[in-house]
Structure 1
Amino acid sequence: MSDRRRSLLRTLADAEGPVSGPTLADDLGVSRAAVWKHVEALREAGFDIESSADGYVVRTVPDYGGDAIAFGLDAPYAVDYHDRLPSTNDRARELAAERATDVLVVAGEQTGGRGRLDRPWSSPAGGVYASLLVRPDRPPAHAPICTLAAAVAVTQTFREAGVDAVIKWPNDVLVAGSERKLAGILTEMEGEADRISWLIVGIGANVDVPAAELPETATSVRVEVDEEPRSGSRPAADGADRRRFCQRMVEEFHALDPDDVLPTWREYAVTLGREVRVDTPGGVVEGEAVDIEFPGALVVRTDDGDRTVHAGDCEHLRPA
């Protein structure tokens, strides 16, 4: 999407009423004819834009898509949208190689989504599959705090949508109680000795996904809010608005200060206070998860004392 199209969308989204052609032309630094072409392109993309003597006003917005996500997005990211991609993280890597930054890559569907350790990630239609490409002024060792910040942002967004979401260390968002999976986060980066060159936060969130399309261990906003039977296929619930969900999780992430995110992460964490088994590169660590330390290490109380785990697969153990 061009900078001018993005500016036009921002102006129309912020306006409380019609915006005249001359005003849009001045704001964009283009002719009125060019404004008309941009408006026609938005109409072709599914926007209902009414024109009158007073100017242009947006009446309805498409359900999903790049322009739809950009319209009203209160965060400074360009939107790179694709109906289908193998992986939004892979596309973000391509953009990082082109020196891009502050880009939100979104796919309507993913055909080759992956999680940690290159495990396949189910990406059925109706989910939100997005990757944020940023260049934070931080050392590489701080990258895990961005994963925690993303987990907080996604959890807050699920809660706004009416789902009681919680966080499982290190990168999963679950439903409280059943602990079915709502979302996963995959953070990748490239860095030098003292700073991150680029960082990609990939998020796969089950939003408007019917129960029949989900694994037994997963759920979605559609299922939870609409109380849809796992064999059902009813229309989406009001909370299962992919466009608004995508916007809100990006806005929440942008508003967070990673240095201040740990208290909120602890509040949402379902891992703390649980008996866990963590498979780490150095072996298995088993005990009670008692805390989280900056930039994202889990503290596990074992029979031999507290262990600080920086990375690993965490399993919640059932009570004996």
Structure 2
Amino acid sequence: MHPTRKQILTTIAERPTSGPDLAAELEISRAAVWNHVEGLREDGFEIESQSDGYTLAGIPDYGGPALEYGLDAPLEIEYHDEIDSTNERARTLADDGHSDVVVVADRQTGGRGRLDREWASPSGGIWLSLLSRPDIPPASAPLYTLVAAVAAARAARDAGVDATIKWPNDVRVGDRKLAGILTEMEGEADRISWLVVGIGLNANVDPEDLPGDQPATSLQSEVGAVDRRAVAQTLLEEFWTLSTVDAEEIMAAWRELASTLGQRVRVETPRETVVGEAVDIKAPGTLVVETEDGLREITAGDCDHLRPAE
């Protein structure tokens, strides 16, 4: 959002302010104030003109300007009503030199998850990709998957849903998938050039529109329709805050929300199947499993929670 428009919104949300007063405060012409106000109205903001000046009467339900307004994180929002993949668009922006941008879509036509699996992305969900350039080596990139999982789980809990995290990248309610994460990067041996973290959260999505290949749920299914703007902003703010702390704080936050720890699990890795009890997680996202042959550390794989009989 244009900085002047953001300042106009902040001012008229606090108190009615006339066009001449806004022009004086912002050191712009009255015509420029009028143009900015009309632009904000076109973006969906309800701005009333009263005898004592402009007042902010309503905020759009969703969209780029709505997400940027009041967002407590220094992130630029690029919004699309429909796009093939927010991750793909974020990678294009990375190639063009951008950073700290969030690509958001109401609907994706080509959403995907880990291992190139299809990810259903109907209208009403929260589909977004965060582009950043953290000063970390490539080996530390999985930390950002953990950050995203914690951020999504916290946002869901803030909306009243008892979400937990299943290693490596699923946010769930019970055994039903609520959100997934796909992290991609480009870099050299000692540093990351760019990092894209895609998050798909089933928000106001009808159950019949969710994928049928695995149990799934949505915030709407659990607690009714939610304020999608508020949930997305909470997610982005939690992500930004967690991305600024050290690895041990991230690990601690992840452990608090993990459903995998303490579970008997089966982990399919590219080389083998590991069965045992998940006992811990280590930076940058390594699952520690206690097997009959001792402790195993697993950096990547598909994890299933097993019932005692299994």
In the superposition, the TM-score normalised over structure 1's length comes to 0.90
The equivalent of 2:112 in structure 1 is 114
The equivalent of 2:201 in structure 1 is 205
Matches within 5 A, 1:1-320: 1-9=1-9, 11-12=10-11, 15-22=13-20, 24-25=22-23, 30-176=28-174, 179-216=175-212, 217-226=215-224, 236=225, 240-256=226-242, 257-259=245-247, 260-320=249-309
Distance in 2 (alpha carbons) for counterparts of 1:280 and 1:133? 28
Q: Is the 8 A contact 1:145 1:258 kept in 2?
A: no
Distance in 2 (alpha carbons) for counterparts of 1:282 and 1:12? 59
Q: Over residues 276-298 of structure 1, what are the superposed CA-to-partner deviations in whole Å (9 max), with x where a residue is unaligned?
A: 11111222211111100011100
Distance in 2 (alpha carbons) for counterparts of 1:22 and 1:280? 66
Moved more, 15-24 or 269-278: 15-24
Distance in 2 (alpha carbons) for counterparts of 1:27 and 1:119? 52
1:3 is displaced (CA, Å) by: 4.5
Q: Is the 8 A contact 1:287 1:302 kept in 2?
A: yes
- Counterpart amino acid of residue 284 in structure 1: T
- Counterpart amino acid of residue 82 in structure 1: H
1:215 is displaced (CA, Å) by: 3.2
SS at structure 2 position matched to 1:298: strand
- Counterpart amino acid of residue 312 in structure 1: G
1:28 is displaced (CA, Å) by: 5.4
SS at structure 1 position matched to 2:141: helix
1:6 is displaced (CA, Å) by: 4.5
Q: Over residues 179-204 of structure 1, what are the superposed CA-to-partner deviations in whole Å (9 max), with x where a residue is unaligned?
A: 20100011111112222111111100
1:161 is displaced (CA, Å) by: 0.4
Contiguous gaps of at least 5 residues in structure 1? 227-235
Distance in 2 (alpha carbons) for counterparts of 1:55 and 1:129? 37
% of aligned pairs identical?
A: 61
The equivalent of 1:232 in structure 2 is none
Sort the Cα spacing of 1:298 and 1:80 in 2 relative to 1 into closer, same or farther, 3 A.
same
Contiguous gaps of at least 5 residues in structure 2? none
SS at structure 1 position matched to 2:259: coil
1:264 is displaced (CA, Å) by: 1.6
Q: Is the 8 A contact 2:106 2:122 kept in 1?
A: no
Distance in 2 (alpha carbons) for counterparts of 1:26 and 1:203? 42
1:27 is displaced (CA, Å) by: 6.3
The equivalent of 1:229 in structure 2 is none
Sort the Cα spacing of 1:288 and 1:246 in 2 relative to 1 into closer, same or farther, 3 A.
same
- Counterpart amino acid of residue 201 in structure 2: A
Q: Is the 8 A contact 2:125 2:200 kept in 1?
A: yes
Q: Over residues 156-183 of structure 1, what are the superposed CA-to-partner deviations in whole Å (9 max), with x where a residue is unaligned?
A: 110010000000001000003xx20100
Superposition RMSD on alpha carbons, in Å?
Answer: 1.8
Q: Over residues 111-141 of structure 1, what are the superposed CA-to-partner deviations in whole Å (9 max), with x where a residue is unaligned?
A: 0000001100011111000111111111111
Sort the Cα spacing of 1:165 and 1:8 in 2 relative to 1 into closer, same or farther, 3 A.
same
Q: Over residues 6-46 of structure 1, what are the superposed CA-to-partner deviations in whole Å (9 max), with x where a residue is unaligned?
A: 4544x348x42234445644665643322211211121222
Sort the Cα spacing of 1:45 and 1:200 in 2 relative to 1 into closer, same or farther, 3 A.
same
Q: Is the 8 A contact 2:75 2:101 kept in 1?
A: yes
Distance in 1 (alpha carbons) for counterparts of 2:11 and 2:197? 29
Sort the Cα spacing of 1:26 and 1:196 in 2 relative to 1 into closer, same or farther, 3 A.
farther
Moved more, 310-319 or 253-262: 253-262
Q: Is the 8 A contact 1:146 1:258 kept in 2?
A: no
1:152 is displaced (CA, Å) by: 0.7
SS at structure 2 position matched to 1:122: coil
In the superposition, the TM-score normalised over structure 2's length comes to 0.92
Distance in 1 (alpha carbons) for counterparts of 2:123 and 2:149? 22
